[in-house]
Amino acid sequence: MTAFTYETTATIDAIAERMRSARKVLVTSHEKPDGDAIGSCAAVARALRALDIETDVWLQGAVTPNLAALIEDLAPHLAPPKLPDDDYDLCVVVDTGAWTQLGPLSEYLATRRDSIIGIDHHRRGDDLASMRFVDASAASCTQVLVPLIDALGVPLTEGGTAAGWFSIAEAIMLGLATDTGWFRFESFDASGFILGARLLEAGADKNRLIRMVEECDRPQRILMAGRALASARFLHSDRCVLMALGQDDFKAVGARPEELSGIVNQPMSVAGVEVSVLLTQSEPGRVKGSFRSKPPMDPGSPRFIDVNQVAACFGGGGHIHAAGARFESTLEEVIAELERTLGSALQEAGFTG
């Protein structure tokens, strides 16, 4: 038996053709959808609806209110409490290909492999779709969707509300922006800049997007950021930062776990820091870890930490410079274990002394 490899199995044209012939389509993404998941769902749904193909968006897990507001007009279904009925003849799964990320919908999707299209930019995933297009070099899943939407013949200016807001171009930009730290990460290369220019020319309102996505936190978020930063421990010659938020912090501030995204990036502003980790424990016995690392100073140098590999040590994963994992132990145990794992990862990458 050969090991499964998570890679493309169908061309963009074949996927576009399959989509065109669909009667009623379900579009979904990973649990607790982020900007790329929401942007990808919105882009696919708007493109298919533009072709008069009945399309529903299904989201699962907590959706932050700012992202939910962007796609209010698409009237997404939430699973749970609802679960889809049987009348979808095509399911499109975007920005993930992993069963573990598909939450309550995994049971529904598990019996429908032949009618699932997967579109993704992650390195790892499962064999859940019969037609799959994976481009791990793409900065966002929305970037992977652009040639598909072009193949469908739908203009990027399509969609949006009566106010002319949140078109396909803006949905694509949402994913591209949020998955690249607003056009900063290594993954945002020349093709990203070219796409960004195309999106602006298609009328994407970047300033409005920033205000809607980045500037609408609740005060609780910045209070949690303060606690996270106060907890920061600099390890391994200050190359590694470990931050932890416990149940006490959640209780004291009244913050929700889903409003902490991005806090893990803040220690990256410190010179010499190669990897940053934020551990959060919002319920007993369950710790969530977010990992970030910097690309090497010199292109091609092996001196960087692959946090996808670090997270994989604990059954998690993601990207080279951004990943996550879950731990079923106490915060203290996770901290001790990570300290060792990160120490050996730094050593293996050639950071010594």
Helix (H, G, I), strand (E, B) or coil at 221: helix
Q: Give the C-alpha separation, 44 to 148, whole Å.
A: 9
Token pair of 178 as six digits: 């949020």
DSSP 104: G
Contacts with Mn ion, 20-39, as mask; x by CB under 5 A: ----------------x---
Span of 87-95, 197-205, 216-224, 251-259 interacting with Mn ion by CB under 5 A? 87-95
Look at residues 196, 214, 201, 198 and name the one whose alpha carbon lies nearest to residue 35: 214
- Please provide the DSSP assignment of 85-111 as one string: -S--SEEEEES---GGGSGGGHHHHHT
Q: Which residue, 31 or 36, has its beta carbon nearer to Mn ion? A: 36
Minimum CB–partner distance for residue 39 and Mn ion (Å): 9
Span of 20-28, 59-67, 175-183, 314-322 interacting with Mn ion by CB under 5 A? 175-183
Contacts with Mn ion, 299-338, as mask; x by CB under 5 A: ----------------------------------------
| Interacting residues with Mn ion between 141 and 160 (CB under 5 A) | 141
Q: Give the C-alpha separation, 165 to 345, whole Å.
A: 45
Q: Which residue is nearest to Mn ion (CB)?
A: 36
Helix (H, G, I), strand (E, B) or coil at 24: strand
Q: Give the C-alpha separation, 347 to 302, whole Å.
A: 11
Span of 99-107, 177-185, 305-313, 344-352 interacting with Mn ion by CB under 5 A? 177-185
* Count, residues near Mn ion per rule CB under 5 A: 4
CA angle at 265 for the pair 263 and 271, rounded to the nearest 5°: 130
Residue 235 contacts residue 335 (beta carbons within 8 Å): no
Q: Which residue, 141 or 307, has its beta carbon nearer to Mn ion? A: 141
120 touching Mn ion, by CB under 5 A: no
56 touching Mn ion, by CB under 5 A: no
Cross-strand bridge partners of residue 318 = 323
Span of 90-98, 106-114, 219-227, 228-236 interacting with Mn ion by CB under 5 A? 90-98
DSSP 258: G
Give the CA dihedral 34, 39, 44, 45, nearest 10 degrees.
Answer: 90
* Other beta carbons less than 10 A from residue 238's beta carbon: 12
Minimum CB–partner distance for residue 15 and Mn ion (Å): 18
Minimum CB–partner distance for residue 54 and Mn ion (Å): 26
259 touching Mn ion, by CB under 5 A: no
| Interacting residues with Mn ion between 179 and 208 (CB under 5 A) | 179
* Interface positions with Mn ion (CB under 5 A): 36, 95, 141, 179
